[in-house]
Structure 1
Amino acid sequence: MAGDMDGESEMEKQLNCFYLKALEGFVLVLTEEGDMIYLSENVNKCMGLTQFELTGHSVFDFTHPFDHEELREMLTFRNGPSKKGKEQITERSFFLRMKCTLTSRGRTVNIKSATWKVLHCTGHMRVYDSCNSQNQCGYKKPPMTCMVLICEPIPHPSNIEFPLDSKTFLSRHSLDMKFSYCDERCLTNLIFEYIKSFAKMETLKWL
């Protein structure tokens, strides 16, 4: 029995490792005050910052000031629409700008040179019992409220590759709209459209 339990725990560890590798982002757990009490290891791959650098610090020290008001709102329970008006909404979904020390070339820079990376944060508010037994003072500690999130970076528009169909071509222009680059498909498409238009006009002459 003990062997089975050990096998299950080992399997769970492996699965958890695979889950983190499959994530495009990282796991973040915040207290009601905004302290980061847990971050998955892959935060370093996404943001350039390590678990050690972030754990125990306030999330407000690493996020954009303009996002703080919304973040504080997300960290509090909200009552949802119900007959009694007491049902609390636990789901969370919002966007957050966080400091990133990774450059476009994959290098890491100093925190003072960090840029802002947009994260899509989704998760839930959770309430955990801190301890079942009473502490030395004779009273039980209150439950701890946390926000558990999966934070996925939103790719910069310049890094997104859009699939182009056969009738679409890519071009770049200077400020006076002169061509600075043109996809080779441009000429092919223009010739094709010219021939098609010419053929259509010739056909109309006979109708």
Structure 2
Amino acid sequence: MFLQALNGFIIILTCEGEVFFATHTIESYLGFHQSDIVHQSVYELVHSEDREELQRQLLWNTFLPTELTGIQLADALVPEKSALLDRSFTIRFRCLLDNTSGFLRLDIRGKVKVLHGQNKKIEEPPLALFAFCTPFGPPSMLEIPHKENMFKSKHKLDFSLVSMDQNIKNRCFRNDCVSIPKKRSGMA
């Protein structure tokens, strides 16, 4: 229920750029199945022009003020300084759904935190970005939930049909369905 109300999905990205976790609702927004992207490089999923920005956002010390440049990670993780690890940015993610141009701009809001439960023996604890991802755009377009009883189609500027989803094909092109009238010659 929470994920439906979110109008987006939750993602956990390691600071090395690996998709550690994504909620199943990612499929509704990007078209990727959850199991296809977990433990894959996030840089393969984002627009090439946005990769450098994403890499900067994943580093814990990128946005430190000049007076805190030499701060250690342990000091940044204390609750009083946790705002230093907040992140809010937009990135274009590859999208497999028909209603986009190949990429969907997402508003990503979260925090760089310790990724507990890892058996890595390193000096600093492994970090990850825990974030909510929501489509970036006019709310009026985004408020409509994608449900099974909705039809989606893509048209050219002259309104000629380019593609349609399987629901339209299943419901409108069955034998018991009323057929679509054909144009008659000489009529507009």
TM-score by length of 2: 0.60
Residues 84, 44 of structure 1: CA spacing in aligned structure 2 closer, same or farther, 3 A cutoff? closer
Cα deviations by residue, 1:113-134 (Å, 9 ceiling, x for unpaired): x701000000000013436xxx
1:115 to 88, 91, 102: 102
Change over 3 Å in CA distance of 1:55–1:158 after alignment to 2: same
Tell me which of the two structures has the higher relative contact order, counting C-alpha pairs closer than 8 angstroms and 6 or more residues apart: 2
Work out the CA distance in 2 between the residues paired with 1:115 and 1:82: 39
Q: CA deviation at 1:155?
A: 3.5
CA RMSD after TM alignment: 2.8
Please identify the structure whose Cα radius of gyration is greater: 1
User: Equivalent of 1:154, from 129, 133, 136?
Assistant: 136
2-structure distance, mates of 1:60, 1:160: 25
Please list every run of 5 or more consecutive structure 1 residues that lacks an aligned counterpart in the other structure: 1-17, 106-113, 162-207
Higher helix content, 1 or 2: 1
CA gap 1:29/1:157 in 2 versus in 1, 3 angstroms:
closer
| 2:45 is the counterpart of 1:58 | no
Mark the CA change 1:158 to 1:20 in structure 2 (over 3 Å): closer, same or farther. Answer: closer
Aligned residues: 129
What is the rounded CA distance, in whole Å, between the counterparts of 1:84 and 1:74 in structure 2? 17
Identity of aligned residues (%): 29
Name which of 99, 102, 110 aligns with 1:104: 99
Shift of 1:159: 4.4
Cα deviation digits, residues 83-112 of structure 1 (max 9, x gap): 65526410001110001111129xxxxxxx
Q: What's the TM-score once normalised by structure 1's chain length?
A: 0.55
- The 1:99–1:69 alpha-carbon spacing in structure 2 relative to 1, beyond 3 Å, is same
2:85–2:112 CA contact under 8 A, matched in 1? yes
Distance 1:32 1:117 in 2: 22
Residue of structure 1 in register with 2:175 after alignment: none
- The gaps in structure 2 that reach 5 residues or longer are 77-83, 144-188
